[in-house]
Amino acid sequence: MPTRDPHLALGLERALDLAERSAFPAADPLDPGRRVGLEPERLVFGGARAGSAGPMGRPPLGGPGGLLAALAAAGERGLPPPTGGLESPHIDLPQGGSLTFEPGGQVEHSTAVHPGLSAALDDCAAVDAALERAFAGPGWSQAFLGLDPWSSPETVPQQLLAPRYPAMARYLALRGPAGAWMMRLSASLQVNLDLGPGSCGAERARLGYLLSPALTAIFSTSPELPGQTRRHSRRARVWQTLDPTRSGFPRRLLEAPGEPLPRAYARAALEADVLLLRDGAGGARPGRPGRRFADWIAAADPELGFPTEEDLRYHLSTLFFEVRCRGFLELRAVDALPPPWRAAAAGLIAGLLLDDRARGLALERLEPTLRELPERWWLAADLGLSLPGMAAEARFLFETAREGLSRLGTGFVRREHADCLDRFEERFTARGLAPADLLRPWLNDAPERALEWARTGRACPEGQPDLARALD
């Protein structure tokens, strides 16, 4: 909590050191750093009506007909009951990891940390199946889409009651409408990887940033509705317009490319605006756009005083760069993907970052694009693989990742998961397509097909358009 004693306040240099060590702590030089965690998020819908312009709606979190009640009733079928109420609802899973909930009712599964990619994917599959059973009674569908295409912040209210969420919503509203869309309507697949020994962490993080445009283009599942723009990832556009001080890319990465990444990340953290200020009573109020954490160090808040180490740690948790450095790497560029295709995105990322040779080749190929990174990310959200040069870049990344995965070995990733890269590339990337291209024509005309693909990765068999027949 903040302090009014300037002698107990956090100084700038100490804050930089703490931020750097929090993001990039010292690693065991003998540990290859190949642990993996996955965080698949999903939207939940009440079903679809044939011939309608959208599904039957999103169930609420609370109340007798809400998500938490359904999950509590499903406890005997493989899931412990939720705890925490609407303040901080969560389910601690017996195999490790947890289920948590976003302000719009999105369900996030955070796996345990696993020694390899296949173990993490198996963990996801078990939870996917348990949620399918839990949602079968009410007739709900899990939907792995980057952004809810049928709803708006006006139709999906903010539902979490913990003080941080209304305060976060108020701060982000000062920046524009993107905050409400992010909090209530978006879903992603986050891939978490070890830093690795020595300088590996900085190299892995740097490559993660450079990969963001390609990951956005290749795996987009949040297209614009038919008749609007041809945008492939509306979710990426939400993050692009959210808050430039804490989303996208650390400014120092672009402006001082020769600065060591751990220090650049720490400087970017202190240059980010303060999102939330907490008091000693558990409350929170929004910060003010334009007031950086470094400004708070220099001049006390009139009501709360100076920041402490605890305030810095909390501030670091409110940064949402495309790669969050948290003692491990959290890559955030991928739209939510249905289970059969999850291994393609996670395998591409792991094969490129964790294998030394693959990482070196990818860095060599992508490093010249560093200065153009924000623009390429923006264009990738709009144009997908039709962005000039992106299709060739994607082919290179798939080939390099496959080779990287083969060197990581079957103990890290089983054959069926490694082969998912081939299947995804064949069905989508090699044709210059992303899943968004498959989904777009269905969003208005056949939402039941869109929901089926978003749940299972397969199209409905009846009346498939030519594109769906080719890809399914």
What residues make up the domain containing 84? 12-471
What local confidence, expressed as pLDDT, does residue 198 receive?
87
Q: Is residue 6 part of a domain?
A: no
Q: What's the token pair of residue 81? A: 């009951």
Q: What does DSSP say about strands 188-193 and 329-335: parallel, antiparallel, or unpaired?
A: antiparallel
Q: Is residue 5 part of a domain?
A: no
The answer to whether 224 touches 230, Cβ cutoff 8 Å, is yes
Q: Is residue 83 part of a domain?
A: yes
Angle in degrees, CA 383, 436, 250, rounded to 5 = 55
What local confidence, expressed as pLDDT, does residue 77 receive?
65
The amino acid occupying position 284 is A
Structure confidence by residue, pLDDT tens digits, 405-459: 999 999 999 999 999 999 999 999 999 999 999 999 999 888 889 999 999 998 7
Q: Is residue 167 part of a domain?
A: yes
- Say which CATH number the domain at 270 has: 3.30.590.20
Q: What's the token pair of residue 445? A: 């005309």
Q: Is residue 54 part of a domain?
A: yes
What tens-digit pLDDT sequence spans the chain (472 residues)? Answer: 788 777 778 999 999 999 999 999 988 888 889 999 999 999 999 865 555 556 668 999 999 999 999 999 876 567 899 999 999 999 999 999 999 999 999 999 999 999 999 999 999 999 999 999 999 889 999 999 999 999 999 999 999 999 999 999 999 999 999 999 999 999 999 999 999 998 899 999 999 999 999 999 999 999 998 777 789 999 999 999 999 999 999 998 998 888 999 999 999 999 999 999 988 777 899 999 999 999 999 998 888 899 999 999 999 999 999 999 999 999 999 999 999 999 999 999 999 999 999 999 999 999 999 999 999 999 999 999 999 999 999 999 999 999 999 999 999 999 999 999 999 999 999 999 999 999 999 998 888 899 999 999 987 544 444 444 444 4
Distance CA 35, CA 48 (A): 39
Q: Is residue 1 part of a domain?
A: no
How many structural domains compose the chain? 1
The β-bridge partners of 148 are: none
The answer to whether 131 touches 78, Cβ cutoff 8 Å, is no
